[in-house]
Amino acid sequence: MVDSQNAEDSIACFSPGLAGIPVAESAVSYVDGKKGYLEYRGIDIEQLAEKSSFEESSYLLLYGELPTAKELKAFDEKLKHHRRIKFRIRDMMKCFPESAHPMDSLQATVAALGMFYPFPTNLEGELDKETIDSVCVNLISKMPTLVAAHARMRHGDDPIAPRDDLSHAANFYYMLTGDEPYPLTERILDVAFIVHAEHEMNASTFSALVTASTHADPYTSISAAIGALSGPLHGGANEDVLHMLDEIGSVDNVEDYFNRKLAKREKFAGLGHRVYKTKDPRATLLQKLYVELTEKVGVDTTYEIARQIEKLSRSTLGAKGVCPNVDFYSGIVYRKMGIPTDLFTPIFAIARVSGWLAHWKEQLGQGRIYRPSQIYTGKYGQSYVPVEER
Ligand SMILES: CC(=O)SCCNC(=O)CCNC(=O)[C@H](O)C(C)(C)COP(=O)(O)OP(=O)(O)OC[C@H]1O[C@@H](n2cnc3c(N)ncnc32)[C@H](O)[C@@H]1OP(=O)(O)O
Ligand SMILES: O=C([O-])CC(=O)C(=O)O
């Protein structure tokens, strides 16, 4: 029986990729895609990049206001206290194939964390603040440790234990390399974390919220978000940008490569965005960080190739609003710090977990289960045919 009224309602609202369809009310962040402007809790991302730290910006996202000095100290201490991971999680990682992508490892280990920190799944009643806070702190604290431990163990190196005298950014760099970063490296990594921390209703945040709307536990929800972030149309694009720049190899090859790809109507990694129709403000900030990082040594070929692509895209794709997004310049910054290409998206996840959790907290106890509709395009009323008659 066809419910034609139902089908018509669905058709009236159908928007491929949910483009332009609001799926939640949220006060976490605001994007003006025409102006290329982004705010976390009403504060411009440029100000946060210049003046804040990842720890402080995470507090802002989670609690809605900038912390007082006392609140920030307490939050920072909690983050430092929870950096260690269980030895069983480390042992589990040792069993992953050496070739495993670090995003797959991260997704699996975050899901596994949920087994060690059970969370009430019946969310009908009030959840106490401490339970919610401890989940947020645990995940933000442990994600860098999970990424660094896997990155080392896949090469047969021992993981490096976290240090509680280092900032979130410096400690991650230390656990990855065994060295404390120079102050400029620490600052640049910190700013990269800040600008990646949140971006309203993107695909990974939506995945987290869809999963959480079933009252699945937050570790499962964040694991779902990590899976969505890994795709090359989303966070995975930062890795693909570097593959593209490496493939081009020299500034002389850019024009030919660009025109060939354009003629085939292929997409360029790191360009285009559902919301921004101008250059993503985070791309501008990351580009500045790269220039700052290379001030003494000068920019390298990879950056020159990227700039040339940006220039060519302006005259060919600019009218469509296809411009550099956050993923276009981030990898160039990380490579300059000596970070392997397949860790670029995990670094995005280390930062974005604060935004995912801010949305998870906001939705707790108020969201309905996400259950959209579909437009059925199949057959109706078919008779079953026994196998011998087919
Ligand atoms: C953190 C992030 O997730 S930022 C985004 C990271 N992703 C990437 O960099 C991957 C490359 N970019 C893309 O694939 C897309 O721009 C997305 C996925 C980001 C956005 O997709 P949508 O909003 O669905 O845009 P859609 O794919 O419909 O593109 C609209 C038009 O711009 C063109 N376009 C979009 N992105 C690109 C690109 N990277 N290169 C060339 N053309 C592009 C499309 O071909 C399309 O043109 P048409 O109207 O002539 O057919
Ligand atoms: O908003 C989006 O669709 C993607 C994005 O830029 C992000 O998640 O940072």
Question: CATH number of the domain that 38 lies in?
Answer: 1.10.580.10
At 297 the pLDDT is: 78
Between the CA of 118 and the centroid of ligand 2 the distance, in Å, is 30
Tokens of 165: 């005298």
**Is the CB of residue 99 less than 8 Å from the CB of residue 105?**
no
| 162 domain-assigned | yes
Cα 227 from Cα 208, distance rounded (Å): 10
CATH number at residue 301: 1.10.230.10
| 369 domain-assigned | no
DSSP 319: G
Of 166, 169, 221, residue with least CA distance to 358: 221
Does residue 142 share a domain with residue 279? no
| 315 domain-assigned | yes
Does residue 119 share a domain with residue 43? yes
Write out the DSSP string of 49-76. HHH--HHHHHHHHHHSSPPPHHHHHHHH
At 4 the pLDDT is: 47
b/e map 72-105, b = 16+ CB within 10 Å? eeebbebbbebbebeeebbeebeebeeebbbbeb
Between the CA of 303 and the centroid of ligand 1 the distance, in Å, is 22
Does residue 218 share a domain with residue 93? yes
The ligand that comes nearest to the alpha carbon of residue 309 is: 1
| Mutation to probe ligand 2, out of 28, 30, 326 (largest number of atoms < 8 A from CB) | 326
Does residue 168 share a domain with residue 100? yes
Q: Is the CB of 199 under 6 A from ligand 2?
A: yes
Query: Which residue is associated with the tokens 């996840």?
Result: 349
Tokens of 205: 């945040």
The ligand that comes nearest to the alpha carbon of residue 208 is: 2
Cα 308 from Cα 304, distance rounded (Å): 6
Q: Is the CB of 283 under 6 A from ligand 2?
A: no
- How far out from the chain centre does Cα 285 lie? 17
At 10 the pLDDT is: 54
Reduced to 3 states (helix: H, G, I; strand: E, B; else coil), residue 29 is strand
* Spans in the chain with pLDDT lower than 50: 1-2, 4
Does residue 174 share a domain with residue 46? yes
Q: Which residues contact 234 (CB under 8 A, 6 or more apart)?
A: 202, 203, 204, 228
Q: Which domain holds residue 315?
A: 237-336
| 368 domain-assigned | no
| 147 domain-assigned | yes
Q: How many CB atoms lie within 10 A of CB 133?
A: 15
Annotated active-site residue 273? The verdict is yes
Does residue 280 share a domain with residue 212? no
| 189 domain-assigned | yes
**Is the CB of residue 2 less than 8 Å from the CB of residue 380?**
yes
| 158 domain-assigned | yes
State ipTM. Answer: 0.99
| 86 domain-assigned | yes
Does residue 241 share a domain with residue 177? no
The catalytic position among 76, 217, 240, 327 is 327
Of 317, 389, 343, 28, residue with least CA distance to 200: 28
Q: Is the CB of 317 under 6 A from ligand 1?
A: yes
Cα 31 from Cα 219, distance rounded (Å): 27
Does residue 359 share a domain with residue 215? yes
Q: Please give the tally of structural domains in the chain.
A: 2
Q: Is the CB of 275 under 6 A from ligand 1?
A: no
The catalytic position among 168, 199, 273, 359 is 273
Does residue 204 share a domain with residue 245? no
* CA-closest residue to ligand 2 atom 1: 202
Query: Which residue is associated with the tokens 């401890």?
Result: 134
Question: Could you give the C-alpha distances from 389 to 264, 379, 380, 382, in angstroms and in order?
Answer: 46, 20, 20, 15
Q: Is the CB of 233 under 6 A from ligand 2?
A: no
At 2 the pLDDT is: 45
Q: Is the CB of 73 under 6 A from ligand 1?
A: no
